[in-house]
Amino acid sequence: MDEVQEQQSQPLDLDNENEIVAESAAFVHGGPPQDANGPPKADSEVEILHEKVTKQIIKEGRGQKPSKYSTCFLHYRAWTESTQHKFEDTWNEQRPIELVLGKEKKEMAGLAIGLSSMTSGEHALLHVGWEFGYGEEGSFSFPNVPPRADIIYEVELIGFDETKEGKTRGDMTVEERIGAADRRKMDGNTFFKEEKLEEAMQQYSMAITYMNDDFMFQLFGKYRDMALAVKNPCHLNMAACLIKLKRYEEAIVQCSIVLSEDENNVKALFRRGKARAELGQTDAAREDFLKAQKFAPEDKAITRELRLIAEHDKAVYQKQKEIYKGIFGPRPEPKPKRFNRLVLFWQWLLSLFYCLSRRGGHKAD
């Protein structure tokens, strides 16, 4: 029985995040925070890789370095060094790219030199001379790079695959690509069980590169179903990792990718609801949970989340009630009138004068 059938035959257990190991396969690696003032600063020692290429490590990686013809999976940002103009950013596109060392484009030569010195998970800053970038003429299409422009790269090597039997990803059959993605998914699940969430997401990101949009667009029938059976669960696995890391907005993106293919996917609705609830988007979260409950009415985790939202709304209402009560305050009590002594004195004096005047009138008569 394959994983899709197995999932359909077993009851959902949304309350148990370890379910991830029973799902099928990957994607979108969450990048570092968006730059606000150009390239990041690195305090590490400058390593000279080539006369025109230097490297500073921002975050250490692990394991071996890629060899020639390895397929590297990476994210990067690129700036012209003189003007600090950013001309490329793969994190914005939410898709890691693939680069085969030794078969890179001419303008990527400096980037390839840097990658060959990195290990999986390493995050580095590269300074590349124009001779190993876009050259003397630059590029006036996309990306727009001026002539003789030295380049600064911020690079993260997600991971790499050694070439097997001389095949690159583009030369693989559909079955081979899906199989390679599935192996990455299984590696990610192993890391997840060990609570190595960043490493797990790296594996899912690499898996998804085998299932990119161009590849998926060409698939129909059973092959598309096979690919989705690997691809969609890894989006869900990625969302589970991101929720644990409190990166809720990125988790929402992962779930929404799955829901674009399967609008009634209970796990995607549930995890997106959890992420939205953590961000305070209670109305949207309730909508996700209620829709998930239609397809899994007996699920206790969904019921619990709906109860938590109801309790949250009640607490907010009570708090607002207290605030408004404090603003308007209780209705003021009427104060007893205090008689002015001076007023009483004048009233007494006028009464006396009135009495005397009347007595004088009687005598005159």
Residue 4 has pLDDT above 60, yes or no: no
Residue 70 has pLDDT above 90, yes or no: no
Confidence of residue 102 (pLDDT cuts 50, 70, 90): confident
Q: Angle, to 10 degrees, between the axis of helix 300-328 and the axis of helix 266-278?
A: 30
Give percent of the chain with pLDDT exceeding 70: 80
Mean pLDDT computed over 36-41 = 80
Confidence of residue 339 (pLDDT cuts 50, 70, 90): low
- Predicted TM-score (pTM) of this structure: 0.61
User: 137 CB contacts (<8 Å, ≥6 apart)?
Assistant: 147
Domain 168-312 in CATH 1.25.40.10? The answer is: yes
Confidence of residue 77 (pLDDT cuts 50, 70, 90): very high
Look up residue 201 and give its DSSP letter: H
Domain with CATH 3.10.50.40 in the chain: 47-161
**Are 230 and 212 in contact, with CB atoms under 8 Å apart?**
no
Q: Which of 116-125, 126-135, 176-185, 256-265 has the lowest mean pLDDT?
A: 176-185
Amino acid identity, position 219: L
Which of 93-102, 157-166, 333-342, 356-365 holds the top average pLDDT?
A: 93-102
* 47-161: CATH class: alpha beta
C-alpha angle with apex 45: 44 to 49, nearest 5 degrees? 120
Mean pLDDT computed over 304-318 = 87
Q: Give the separation between CA 39 and CA 81, rounded to whole angstroms.
A: 9
Cis peptide before 143 (omega within 30 of 0): yes
- Residue whose C-alpha is closest to residue 208's, from 188, 193, 192: 188
Mean pLDDT computed over 140-151 = 90
When the pLDDT of each residue in the chain is averaged and rounded to a whole number, the result is 82
**Tokens 């997600």 correspond to what residue?**
158
- Residue whose C-alpha is closest to residue 20's, from 341, 325, 294, 244: 244
pLDDT in tens, 238-285: 999 999 999 999 999 999 999 998 999 999 999 999 999 999 999 999
The Cα-based distances of 329 to 56, 108, 263, 332 in angstroms read 62, 69, 49, 8
If one compares 250 and 8, the residue with the highest pLDDT of the two is 250
The encoded tokens of residue 26 equal 């990957």
pLDDT at residue 1 in the model: 33
**Are 295 and 267 in contact, with CB atoms under 8 Å apart?**
no
Q: Give the separation between CA 284 and CA 225, rounded to whole angstroms.
A: 30
pLDDT at residue 87 in the model: 92
C-alpha angle with apex 231: 289 to 284, nearest 5 degrees? 20
Helix (H, G, I), strand (E, B) or coil at 164: strand
- Residue whose C-alpha is closest to residue 120's, from 200, 40, 195: 200
